[in-house]
Structure formats: C-alpha cells, structure tokens
C-alpha cells in the first residue's frame, strides 16, 4: 500500500466472486429490503473434486502441496462476499479438518462469522462432496440467505429464488442461463467495473486498502481453528 500511495496509484484487488451475477442479484434484493433484516446466511461449498490420491492433479495440482487450502485458496472468496452482502465481520469461529491424506492442507470445515448488526454467516465447506449441478464449478455450491421477511436461495445452476415468509412457493429472481465465462462471467464483470471507474470516476470496489480487511479475517479464521475458540477480528 505504501508504494501505491507514494506513486499516487489506485490499487484494486482482482476479487471477482462478488461480481458473480447471482450475488449481484442477491445484493439488490437485500438492499431493497426484499427479505427484511437478514439473520442468517449460509454457503455450502461442494466442489466434489477432493477425493482420492489424484485429487486436483488434473486441473490445479499445486493444491495438493498448499499448507492452507480450503480457506486460503477458496473460502477467502466468501469472506469478501459475506462482507459485500451483509457488512463488516466482527468475529469468527472455525473448525477445520483434513479429510484427504494425499494433501497437505485442510479440505473441509465450518466457519461461523459474526456480522456487525447481529447477523451471522456460515461457510460450510467440503471439497469431497458435490451438489446438484451439471457444472459444479459454476457456483461451487449452494447458498441460503434468511431474513425476517423471507429467504433467498442459490442453486447450482445459478438460479436465485425468493420465498416470502410464511409462503410455500418461491419466485424466481434470477433464471439460469448459459454464462460465457467462469462464475457467470464474473471476471469480465469485474474488468468492466474497473474500466468504468478509470474512465468515469465511479468508485472502485475491492480497493487494496479495504481488501486488507479480508486478509485479516482470513488470518483470524486460522487462528480460531488453532485455538479452538472464537476470535474477534
């Protein structure tokens, strides 16, 4: 940060998961009060690629040697996404484990986040298990956002549904489609966002100074797992 500040450069971190269309849609509903105050958010990571001695070798073989895997490589994206959707993270409690002896780092675990204002978020990750999707890499899992006025659900095909409190049926807020790039073309969406900021002076998301907070929360997650206790961030 010191080098960027000294050079007068705006430094933006390429954190693109919050730009996935389902999370942009969920954010719009939340900001409009569409499900009332949120009390609980859950994301279930189910990539289905972590079983056996050849886990990750076909796509990302360096995963096997990473001393920190589930949270540092993958779960960190939801630290940022929960902050984007719900607000600042005040404390964490983590229970992490390694299921596959062929790898060095953790590949499953639960991380509970205390959000400023009283909401809680749960990252429930297990790279051995899958979810119902033709492409498990599209959303990497399923989500449920629960408010006092209703719930939002994210399916593995990118569908977002809203169910009003007390209702049985849910309405589709975002329908599935054939997205051209990774994660609903979130990389392109982020690049558009940065270009718009440079050309038109629009505020940037994920400026490096703010993103340092994500790194601090990640460090707190590992500290919590080591101490087996809740850690304030």
72, 120, 159, 151 alpha-carbon torsion, rounded to 10°: 180
Reported in sequence order, the residue ranges of the chain that DSSP labels E, i.e. its strands, are: 38-45, 89-97, 108-115, 120-126, 141-147, 150-154, 160-164, 171-174, 231-232
Residues β-bridged to residue 108: 97, 126
What SS3 state is found at 181? Answer: coil
Q: Is the confidence at residue 2, as pLDDT, over 90?
A: no
pLDDT digits (tens, 9 = 90+) for 49-108: 999 999 999 999 999 999 999 999 999 999 999 999 999 999 999 999 999 999 999 999
Count of CB atoms situated within 10 Å of the CB of 196: 12
Closest to 74 (Cα-Cα) out of 223, 218, 198, 224: 218
Domain extents in the chain: 34-181+210-226
Using pLDDT thresholds of 50, 70 and 90, give the confidence band for residue 6.
Answer: confident
Q: Is the confidence at residue 4, as pLDDT, over 80?
A: no
Using pLDDT thresholds of 50, 70 and 90, give the confidence band for residue 161.
Answer: very high
Written as six digits, the tokens of 204 are 């940037």
Report how far residue 218's alpha carbon sits from residue 221's, in angstroms, rounded to the nearest whole number. 5
Residues β-bridged to residue 144: 42, 153
pLDDT digits (tens, 9 = 90+) for 196-230: 999 999 999 999 999 999 999 999 999 999 999 99
The CATH H-level (homologous superfamily) assignment of domain 34-181+210-226 is Dihydrodipicolinate Reductase; domain 2 (3.30.360.10)
Residue 219, CA distances (Å) to 14, 81, 106, 196 in order: 19, 17, 14, 32
Using pLDDT thresholds of 50, 70 and 90, give the confidence band for residue 39.
Answer: very high
pTM for this one? 0.96
pLDDT of residue 141: 98
pLDDT digits (tens, 9 = 90+) for 133-157: 999 999 999 999 999 999 999 999 9
What SS3 state is found at 43? Answer: strand
Q: Is the pLDDT higher at 7 or at 129?
A: 129
Report how far residue 133's alpha carbon sits from residue 196's, in angstroms, rounded to the nearest whole number. 33
């Amino acid at each position: 940060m010191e080098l960027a500040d000294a050079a007068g450069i705006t430094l933006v971190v390429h954190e693109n998961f919050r730009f996935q269309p389902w999370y942009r849609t969920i954010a719009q509903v939340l900001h409009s009060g569409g499900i009332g105050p949120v009390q609980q958010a859950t994301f279930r990571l189910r990539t289905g690629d972590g079983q056996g001695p050849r886990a990750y070798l076909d796509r990302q073989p360096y995963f096997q040697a990473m001393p920190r895997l589930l949270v540092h490589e993958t779960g960190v994206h939801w630290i940022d996404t929960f902050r984007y959707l719900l607000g600042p993270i005040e404390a964490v409690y983590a229970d992490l484990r390694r299921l596959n002896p062929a790898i060095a780092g953790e590949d499953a675990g639960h991380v509970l986040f205390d959000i400023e204002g009283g909401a809680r978020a749960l990252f429930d990750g297990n790279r051995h298990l899958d979810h119902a999707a033709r492409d498990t890499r599209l959303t990497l899992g399923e989500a449920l956002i629960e408010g006092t006025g209703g719930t939002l659900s994210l399916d593995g095909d990118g569908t977002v549904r809203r169910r009003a409190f007390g209702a049985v049926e849910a309405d589709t807020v975002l329908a599935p489609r054939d997205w051209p790039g990774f994660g609903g073309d979130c990389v392109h969406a982020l690049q558009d966002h940065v270009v718009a900021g440079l050309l038109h002076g629009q505020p940037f998301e994920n400026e490096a100074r703010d993103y340092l907070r994500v790194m601090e929360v990640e460090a707190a997650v590992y500290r919590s797992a080591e101490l087996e206790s809740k850690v304030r961030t």
